[in-house]
Amino acid sequence: MGDRMVVVSVLQFACSDDVSANVDKAERLVRAAHKKGANIILIQELFEGYYFCQAQREDFFKRAKPYKGHPTVLRMQNLAKELAVVIPVSFFEEANNAHYNSIAIIDADGTDLGLYRKSHIPDGPGYQEKFYFNPGDTGFKVFQTKFAKIGVAICWDQWFPEAARAMVLQGAEILFYPTAIGSEPQDEGLDSCEHWKRVMQGHAGANVVPLLASNRIGKEVIETEHGKTEITFYGNSFIAGPTGEIVAQANAKDEAILVAEFNLDKIKSKRHSWGVFRDRRPDLYKVLLTLDGSTG
């Protein structure tokens, strides 16, 4: 048995609504993670600015840019090449008249390995993403990076076991979920944080792979025609191991750089011997292709 070791890192920080300041902060933290030995570094969802989906505002479409030549993606390509690290880069994509919540996967030599577009688009108070984003059309993908074959999905995708399973079936050795989640404007008493963590810990354990979730922190206030709306993002970014155990976790308030090391060959051996992929019955799962559970 070999010993393919990889060091992964999750970043967590508060965003202002100044793109250059946020990208500067992301770069500073990526450099700090690299100094801690990180090979693959996850930045949170839509880190260029505030989580603008709190409100439906026409002017916020101006935040979108085309994938090709995207300035933040290009900057992170240069950084990834300089440091020899892998960086998934989340951004608001404009594609002619379509818009996507997208992520570009940058390999350790600065190569852009391709794009994933968020598949599951939420729509509720404070998280009004259907106003801005078309449902992603890429399907669930894996990316062969220098250090590991990785699966990357985005925020609301993390609540769906089908997405995690689809990526691991395609060979993903580690799952990555950049996120923006916090308080619920319609219900101050609702705190989804522990639920959020447990669901993803389940994906890690059920698929026998490590999993990383990167969330933002801080209170963000957005002006709307109906007055102000605000969300306090609850951080709690974490790294889970292949049995779903929490290996590293940030708190709800502080900027953080989490780092963990995994032996991918050892985990692969465990995944294969545990039997959950040997004993699958895809012929019995056709009900998953329905919305209403009908089998007729």
Q: What does the H/E/C string look like for 22-66?
A: HHHHHHHHHHHHHHCCCCEEECCCCCCCCCHHHCCCHHHHHHCEC
| Residues identified as active-site | 45, 118, 155
Instruction: Please answer whether residues 289 and 163 qualify as being in contact, where contact means their C-beta atoms are separated by less than 8 angstroms.
Output: no
The rounded distance, in Å, linking the Cα atoms of 245 and 237 is 14
The rounded distance, in Å, linking the Cα atoms of 150 and 218 is 29
Q: How far apart are the first and last CA of the chain?
A: 47
- In this structure, the dihedral spanned by the alpha carbons of residues 77, 78, 79 and 81, taken in order and rounded to 10 degrees, is 80
Instruction: Please answer whether residues 141 and 151 qualify as being in contact, where contact means their C-beta atoms are separated by less than 8 angstroms.
Output: yes
Burial 264-287 (b: 16+ CB within 10 A, else e): beebbeebeeeeeeeeeeeeeeee
What is the CATH T-level fold of the domain 5-289, as seen in this structure?
A: Nitrilase/N-carbamoyl-D-aminoacid amidohydrolase (3.60.110)
The rounded distance, in Å, linking the Cα atoms of 215 and 90 is 12
Q: Which two tokens stand for residue 160?
A: 């769906």
Mark the ranges of the chain whose per-residue pLDDT is less than 50. Answer: none
Q: What is the pLDDT of residue 262?
A: 98
Instruction: Please answer whether residues 39 and 108 qualify as being in contact, where contact means their C-beta atoms are separated by less than 8 angstroms.
Output: yes
The rounded distance, in Å, linking the Cα atoms of 236 and 156 is 16
Tell me the domain boundaries of the chain.
Answer: 5-289
Burial 29-41 (b: 16+ CB within 10 A, else e): bbebbbeeebbbb
Q: What is the pLDDT of residues 13-27, one digit of tens each?
A: 999 999 999 999 999
Q: Which two tokens stand for residue 193?
A: 């944080």
